[in-house]
Amino acid sequence: MSAWWQQLPLARRSGAVLLVLILVAALLAPSLAPDAVSQDLERVLLAPSLEQPLGTDHLGRNMLARLTHALQLSFSLALLSVISAAIIGISLGLLAAWRGGVIEAVLTSIADAVMTLPVLLVVLLFSAFAQGEFWSLYIGLSFALWVEYFRVSRATIKATLVSAPVESARMLGFGNFYLLRRHLLPELAPVVGTLMLFGISTAILALAALGFVGVGLRPPTPELGVMMIELFPYYEEAPWLIASPVVTLGLIMLALALLGGRKEMP
Amino acid sequence: MIKVLSHLLLRRCLQAVLVALLVSTVSFFLMHSLSGDLAFRIAAGRYGYDMVTAAAAEAVRVELGLDRPLLQGLILWWQQLLQFDLGDSYLSSAPVIEEIREQFGHTLQLALSALVLSVVIALPIGLIAGLNPHGWLDRVSLTLSIILRAFPPFLLGILLILLLSSKLGITNAANASHEHGGLFLPALTLALSLAAVSSRVARDAMVEVRRSAYFNFARTKGLSDLLALLRHGIRNAAVPVIAYLGVQLVFLMEGVIIIESLFAWPGIGHALAHAVFGRDIPMIQGTAIVMGLLFVLCNTLVDIACMLADPRQRYLASRRADA
Amino acid sequence: MFLCPIHRQPLSIAVAMLSLALLIAMPLMAATDSTKTSLSIVGPWEVSTLEPSRAGYLFLRMQVAEALISTDLEGKPSPGLAERWQVSADGLDWRFFLRPQARFHDGSPVTAASVVMNLQRALSQPGVLSMAPVTGIIAAAPGEVSITLSKPYAMLPMLLAHSSAIILAPAAYNDKGHVRKMLGSGPYQLVRQTLPQQLELALSPHWQGKQPAIKQIHYLSASRPETRALIAESHQADLVFGFDPASMQRLRNNPKVVVKEADLARTITLKLNSGHRFLNNAETRQALSLAINRAGIAKGILRTPELAADQLLPPGIAQWHQTGAGFPKLHTDLERAKALLSAQGWQPGPDGILQRNGERFALKLNAFPDRPELPIIATALQEQFRKLGIEIKVIITNSSEIPLGHRTGTLEMGLVPRNFALVPDPFVALNQDFKTGGGDWGAMQWQNSQVPALLEKIASDTDPDAQARYRHDIILTLQQELPVIPISWYRLPVAVHPQLKGVKVDPLEQSYYISDMYWSSK
């Protein structure tokens, strides 16, 4: 374990540490500051103090509680969409690679078309279905993200199916399920892992971006993008307020980018 | 070569048709899945909340024929698309295509300015960093590049607004008035995001150049570092950067959606967010189709450029086309 | 069609360079002096179309277009395109006499026929004119328009002052009947437009009235209030409308900006479904009102304590605002509220939410995000009602859900920023809201005959003292019955360049009175 850890490049290690810290904060802090809803209109825009570590927002709500609730929300929605996208993508990839023919042609064309559209555009389209609702963002994200898993799994499986070990396993009469478990999934796992990391970062970002522009989740939901737009007007009176969601989102992105290794495109 | 190219174009055309179909189908279902009453919603978008009344909604219902049966509506929807008719905006009643034409000019202006600005920023930094790899400038620019890449454009935009607008009073944050230099901040935001990567591309290219024989020859000829750079470095290092711009076009298209909304730049991305907000379905459909098609176009251009530039790519493309 | 691309700049590297150059050259664009004749305005209003029913209000305020009737700062009718008018003894026939020298911006004279065409169009479109029982609009004689009614309607001039009833030249319309060009008859004409963001106006050569000191106007729409505040602070515009509470705070402290404020005839109200089994008696509605911490909302959210609404209309609307010493004002008293509810048989359940006959006191509150403070106030109300023992589910949705929910009877509560100055006299909106059967934005399933009867009396009785008494009685009854609960008022803040003089802020938002403004060197 420690040897494996030592082997990792410094960037990845620091990314992992940073991410773990953020996640721990997201998981633990709500028990320290559970109330993200209660307002106190007499105590608005307070500066950080012992009692209110991140201050209070424009409605006198506890910023620490709101921030950590927002983190939980972002991560759970991102994880949910990425896992759904991976399951759907890999299943369809398997189907396409295994069956080939018309199914493959149709699936590949659809995937190509979705791939062409920017993730944000797809999510935006879907978010119009039910504005401000959790589920429309979830479906939009999953719909935008499944194609990558589809393409990768289809290509990998196609290549693996004709590889020597699989050929011989087939000749020995092993069933499809065995092949899948023993040969195909292990081939896929590392690639899918990396893809999921990027997927999570894309999802968190899209969520925040839409919230910020006003077409994502809605106030009073504690969400990073929503908080940014809510607190933006107070940048001069209470700069620490807008800073906390901005810095948090930046740190998440940085952690995921470091962990995921070099990305080719910005 | 011709075969490969035509194959590629055919494939991309198919993709374009699929994109249009996909978006328009989603839009159609979108229209018919709206919670609440469509006529009321459109009336709210058009006349504002002060004037939405049952009477206004009835007028809208009659004007737009919203009481049509579903199937008839679908067929009409498709027919219109086949005739390249994107319909009229629910909100402004102007033809969608005219609105998009106007907005697209603004988007193009923003995208190109961002691209140019990114080269202006990235090239010198990359070249100087590449001249002295692992030197302090190289390290600083690497760190900055990592941080900038982690920061999504809209976050960067907020930071820039906070820094520049409020502290320096340079330029106002959201302003379409060109006289007021409203272009600068959104372009700078996008440019910084682009430069985060292209500066590294330039740096790597410069390192290559420095290792090359002709550069060393120039040095041994007695040219100073600076002169050698000017004579041989810039041109050679610029090639990959310029080639990389094509890839960046794709990124730009995504970036404009949020950046335009953030800075209220009246381009196509802003229009899309606006349309989603106002449930202006013909505008959603129109802008999404246009953006999708642009994406296909950009990808095609990048493919062709790569193919022409690099024989290896040509080989790969031909294999991809056969697969 | 009516999109006129004006500065489509060449798309080249030059653009980026230009923007850089502008950036450097920009600060402190112009030093002002008394010879300056231009004015730049920034506001939140986007102009996505030239259609009078949708964007007419801006062209009316900018004095590009005129309606037959205008209003003064008190909201009384004054001459517009019609220099005078008269009504027959039975109140059914109205005559409007047009200003004889009036010309449209294309030079054509304003004729009775063109006025009739515009009014008939306004009648057929969503707007306010259809509220009057109009039976005919005809050109009775040259320069004379006659409107006949099926029954008397004293408010007709107010409806004619509305922005959807502005009069445009016949050449303004294309063959499909859409507005192609903005050709009004006011002092300023539209020179260029970049929809939806910019308008450029200049003094019209066809304007025959008093020559204004301001001759060129540039209007820019900026959607974010923070941005508008920055523009005002850096003097990049001379007249900037509308700020968010946080920016207001800053502007007030800035000596370089003059901020003027006017009470608007707009009130945030909580529209209640008075037919709902929880809300169908006045005591429950009073309890809700007593639980609302208006001072907290005004201070904490709107950042202006004076905006807490103790009655439906603000002090700026003097005719309707009640100042009598004995007038019972709305206030906060949580204990009294709890007592009222417990008298109704509501008892706290295990989770602190009131229960009656096994039913929890839970309601849905609809709000919409078009005004950024509404969702915030909705969540504040949610919290304040929770303290009373009522569970509120806040639904942030489209504004049209409220009139729709009113029609289908499914709405429970709605947060409404009601504009009582739809037409300059609040009577029209009040009548819409509280007439028998209620209104889309007003009372809902409210059983009351008093207020509708008083409203009818105002419309028919012309004695000013009697009218004042009726107004008092209406506001008092609404105060006790609370079919809608007033929460806070609004103010329109305007940041004015210190050297710009003659600025008047119209609480009814009918006009900016630009033609009365001038630059002074001090």
In the structure encoding, which two tokens stand for residue A64, read together? 């620490």
**Residue B203 falls inside a structural domain:** yes
DSSP H helices, B264-310, are: 268-278, 281-309
Determine contact, residues C386/C361, Cβ cutoff 8 Å.
Answer: no
pLDDT in tens, C287-308: 999 999 999 899 888 888 999 9
Determine contact, residues C517/C213, Cβ cutoff 8 Å.
Answer: yes
Phi-psi region of C284 (alpha: psi -120 to 50; beta: other; left: phi over 0): alpha
Gap between the terminal Cα atoms of chain A: 32
What are the chain B neighbours of C48 within 8 Å (beta carbons)? 91-92
CA distance A254 to chain B (A): 5
Confidence of residue B143 (pLDDT cuts 50, 70, 90): confident
| Cβ within 8 Å, pair C19-B40 | no
* Most confident segment among A155-159, B70-74, C58-62, C298-302: C58-62
Output the pLDDT for position B316: 54
C-alpha A45/C-alpha A178 separation (Å) is 60
| Cβ within 8 Å, pair C234-B175 | no
* Most confident segment among B78-87, B175-184, B206-215, C81-90: C81-90
- The domain ranges of chain A are 10-28+57-260
Q: What percent of chain A has pLDDT over 70?
A: 95
B177 has a pLDDT exceeding 60: no
Confidence of residue B321 (pLDDT cuts 50, 70, 90): very low
Q: How far is CA B147 from CA C49, C179, C215, in A?
A: 43, 51, 51
Q: Does B299 touch chain A (CB under 8 A)?
A: yes
pLDDT in tens, B179-220: 344 688 888 889 998 888 888 888 887 787 777 766 677 667
What are the chain C neighbours of B43 within 8 Å (beta carbons)? 126, 400
C284 has a pLDDT exceeding 90: yes
**Residue A223 CB partners (closer than 8 Å, separation 6+):** A70, A73, A74, A207, A208, A211, A216, A217
Cβ density class B96-121: b for 16+ within 10 Å, e for less = bbbbbebbbbbbbbbbbbbbbbbbeb
Phi-psi region of B65 (alpha: psi -120 to 50; beta: other; left: phi over 0): left
**CATH 1.10.1450.10 matches C264-491:** no
| Cβ within 8 Å, pair A118-B295 | yes
Output the pLDDT for position C522: 65
**Residue C10 CB partners (closer than 8 Å, separation 6+):** none
Classify A133 as helix, strand or coil.
Answer: coil
CA distance C31 to chain B (A): 16
**Residue B301 falls inside a structural domain:** yes
Question: Which of A100, A90, A89, A91 has its CA nearest to residue A162?
Answer: A100
Could you list the residue range(s) of the whole structural domain that residue B210 is in? 96-322
pLDDT in tens, B31-65: 676 656 778 877 877 777 777 778 788 887 777 77
User: What is the amino acid identity at position C53?
Assistant: S
C-alpha B287/C-alpha A128 separation (Å) is 14
| Cβ within 8 Å, pair B272-A116 | no
C-alpha A55/C-alpha A68 separation (Å) is 13
Superfamily (CATH H level) for C13-23+32-257+498-519:
Periplasmic binding protein-like II (3.40.190.10)
**Residue B126 falls inside a structural domain:** yes
C-alpha A218/C-alpha A225 separation (Å) is 10
Determine contact, residues C149/C92, Cβ cutoff 8 Å.
Answer: yes
DSSP state of C328: P
Output the pLDDT for position A152: 86
pLDDT in tens, C231-283: 888 777 899 998 877 788 778 888 888 899 888 889 999 999 999 999 999 99
Which helix or strand (DSSP H or E) is residue B78 part of?
Answer: helix B70-82
Question: Which of B49, B152, B222 has its CA nearest to residue A250?
Answer: B152
**Residue B66 falls inside a structural domain:** no
| Cβ within 8 Å, pair A209-B166 | no
pLDDT in tens, B238-256: 666 666 766 677 678 778 8
CA distance A75 to chain B (A): 17
**Residue B196 falls inside a structural domain:** yes
Classify A210 as helix, strand or coil.
Answer: helix
Classify C346 as helix, strand or coil.
Answer: coil
| Cβ within 8 Å, pair C246-A214 | no
Question: Which of C343, C363, C356 has its CA nearest to residue C283?
Answer: C343
Output the pLDDT for position C205: 93
Q: C500 versus B153: which is more confidently predicted?
A: C500
DSSP state of C367: E
Matching residue, tokens 């609730």? A69
- The domain ranges of chain C are 13-23+32-257+498-519, 264-491
- Length of chain A in terms of residues written: 266
Among A166-170, B170-174, B226-230, C486-490, the range scoring the smallest mean pLDDT is B170-174
**Residue B218 falls inside a structural domain:** yes
Contact pairs from chain A to chain B, CB under 8 Å: 127
- In this complex, which chains have at least 3 CB pairs below 8 Å with chain C? A, B
Phi-psi region of C67 (alpha: psi -120 to 50; beta: other; left: phi over 0): beta
Which helix or strand (DSSP H or E) is residue C518 part of?
Answer: strand C518-519
ipTM summary value = 0.72
What backbone phi and psi angles, to 5 degrees, belong to B262?
-60, -45
pTM of the model: 0.74
pLDDT in tens, A53-69: 888 888 888 888 888 88
DSSP states of C93-131 as a string?
EEEEEE-TT-B-TTS-B--HHHHHHHHHHHHHSSSSGGG
What are the chain A neighbours of B22 within 8 Å (beta carbons)? 110, 113-114, 117
C-alpha C398/C-alpha B90 separation (Å) is 15
Angle at C445 between CA C439 and CA C446, to 5 degrees: 90
Determine contact, residues C495/C222, Cβ cutoff 8 Å.
Answer: no
Q: What is the CATH number of the domain that holds B282?
A: 1.10.3720.10
**Residue B12 falls inside a structural domain:** no
* Most confident segment among A101-105, B111-115, C88-92, C479-483: C479-483
CA distance A41 to chain C (A): 5
**Residue B24 falls inside a structural domain:** no
| Cβ within 8 Å, pair B158-A232 | yes
Q: C415 versus C178: which is more confidently predicted?
A: C415
B-facing residues of A in 152-191 (CB < 8 A) are none
B228 has a pLDDT exceeding 60: yes
DSSP H helices, C234-326, are: 245-252, 282-291, 294-296
In the predicted model, what is the mean pLDDT of chain C?
Answer: 86
Among A29-38, B228-237, C169-178, the range scoring the smallest mean pLDDT is B228-237
Output the pLDDT for position B238: 62
Describe the crossing of helices B54-64 and B38-47 by its angle, rounded to 10 degrees: 110
C-alpha C165/C-alpha C120 separation (Å) is 9
| Cβ within 8 Å, pair A257-B146 | yes
The minimal CB distance from C376 to the residues A42, A59, A234 is found for A59
C-alpha B18/C-alpha A110 separation (Å) is 7
Give the distance from CA B264 to its chain's centroid: 15
Q: CATH second-level architecture of A10-28+57-260? A: Orthogonal Bundle (1.10)
> Measured on CA atoms in the order C276, C277, C278, C283, is the torsion positive or negative?
positive
Question: Which of C378, C2, C353, C287 has its CA nearest to residue C168?
Answer: C2
| Cβ within 8 Å, pair B150-A129 | no
Q: How many structural domains comprise chain B?
A: 1
Longest dimension (CA), chain B: 85
The minimal CB distance from B254 to the residues A120, A131, A239 is found for A120
DSSP states of B247-263 as a string?
HHHHHHHHHHHHHHHHH
pLDDT in tens, A223-233: 888 888 888 77
Mean pLDDT, range A234-256, rounded to an integer: 85
Output the pLDDT for position B108: 87
Confidence of residue C32 (pLDDT cuts 50, 70, 90): very low
Nearest chain C residue to A37, by CA: C383
What are C's interface residues with A at a Cβ cutoff of 8 A?
225-226, 244-247, 249-250, 293, 296-297, 299-301, 369, 375-376, 379-380, 383, 394, 396-398
